[in-house]
Amino acid sequence: MAARWWWWRCGCSPRRAAPTPRPRPAACAGSLERRAAPDARAQVRRDAPSSMPSISFVKNLTSAFPNVYNISRFHQKTPASGEKYTDPFKLGWRDLKGLYEDIRKELLISTTELKEMSEYHFDGKGKAFRPIIVVLMARACNIHHNNSRDMQASQRSIALIAEMIHTASLVHDDVIDDASSRRGKHTVNKIWGEKKAVLAGDLILSAASIVLARTGNIAVVSIITQVLEDLVRGEFLQLGSKENENERFAHYLEKTFKKTASLIANSCKAVSVLGCPDPVVHEIAYQYGKNVGIAFQLIDDVLDFTSCSDQMGKPTSTDLKLGLATGPVLFACQQFPEMNDMIMRRFSLPGDVARARQYVLESDGVQQTTYLAQRYCHEAVREISKLRPSTERDALIQLSETVLTRDK
């Protein structure tokens, strides 16, 4: 009965699909074909501009955007700016040359060991996904406001801060999860131990705070500080789970926002505040970052089931081993209700992880989660399209498709 109520609330048919076995993906079969499940009706919350986000299933994107199967169909093939689409990463790196060198300069540490630990992940091998979004958003907002082609030094500083906060959170997460590999190499806690890894993460955050203070903008300081609070609250949400299965998806999306999307959303908002006085633009930037951020994590949760360790640079099926029920698991649970008991005991019994993984692969959990990510990305495109046409705005649209098609 509860499952039927959940599907009614989300605008879905309560009919349960037959658990037809599906072939298990090859260990390294590459990226999953992003095929939308036509019967999915996933709800996406909207946040009031004046308040921090809270989960509520009040808007059904299905009715607003029917038959969303491939987000590229919504792209303008010829941007209004008259320029062809540019690789968003190549375009963004024009403003990020020396990014990691500049971050290392901010880590002014005299102790050799602490310096090595703090600089460990700033080796230039990361995707710099967050800094790329930040600088593209900064330029898009500047052009929208007064057609300025210049980016302020303080806006670029937000890109550094975003990468520093993200990296510090990874160091801390690896301690909490007792992870041994990240980005294809050993974690800080694996090499130096948990206690020192925690201190290294704290040091990175303190350096980011100093850079933030130098912006001299109280509003921006408040916006970025919210990210730190959300990271902590998100981690606490991840430590628990909802006994009521109808509340689990809301709990999962709220955790996803706080742990992943808040940093992107608030960093985008911060650079818009620095470059444009219009609150409407601030909300556009925030909503774009929020939706892309949630979609990014949804695809990450999909890849935990469909990719291999070599592609991801970290072990797969990690979430199940940590006792976490992500999107694919929660959707699969609608077809295999016996997973509810495993979710509540956090897959702690012998064989739980293997059984849960098999249920996910035999269900539409992966496809449904991918479909939900498509909807979030489409909402991001809808928001950013409100800005004046520019190469940077179009690159942000293109970036939303990159989020959906990535394989690591």
**43: DSSP letter:** B
pLDDT at 313: 56
CA–CA gap between residue 100 and residue 263 (Å, rounded) = 19
Question: Helix, strand, or coil here: 60?
Answer: strand
Average pLDDT score, the chain: 82
The first and second tokens of residue 78, run together, are: 């010829």
Question: DSSP characters for 227-294?
Answer: HHHHHHHHHHHHH---SSHHHHHHHHHHHHIIIIIHHHHHHHHHHHHHH---HHHHHHHHHHHHHHHH
How much is the average pLDDT of 125-151?
A: 94
pLDDT at 405 over 70: yes
Residue 20 clears pLDDT 90, i.e. is over it: no
Cβ–Cβ under 8 Å, residues 12 and 39: yes
Going by pLDDT thresholds of 50, 70 and 90, the confidence category of residue 108 is: confident
Q: Rounded to whole angstroms, what are the CA distances from 142 to 128, 152, 275, 281, 393? A: 21, 9, 5, 10, 11
Cα–Cα distance for residue pair 278/301, rounded to 1 Å: 35
Report the C-alpha gap between 291 and 127 in whole angstroms: 19
| pLDDT over 90 (residue 285) | yes
Query: Which stretch of DSSP H or E encloses residue 195?
Result: helix 194-214
- 246-267 burial string, b = 16+ CB within 10 Å, else e? eebbbbbbbbbbbbbbbbbbbb
Q: Residues 376-400: what's their mean pLDDT?
A: 97
**Confidence grade of residue 194 (pLDDT, cut at 50, 70, 90):** very high
Average pLDDT of the segment spanning 61-83 = 36
Instruction: Report pLDDT for 241.
Output: 76
pTM of the model: 0.80
Give pLDDT tens digits for 382-393: 999 999 999 999
Over 90: is that where the pLDDT of 43 sits?
A: no
What's the number of CA atoms in the CB half-sphere (13 Å) around residue 66? Answer: 1
- Looking at the predicted structure, is the pLDDT value of residue 362 above 70? yes
- pLDDT given for residue 137 in this prediction: 98
β-sheet bridge partners, residue 60: 43
The sign of the dihedral angle between the CA atoms of 337, 338, 342, 347 is negative
Name the DSSP letter for residue 307.
Answer: S
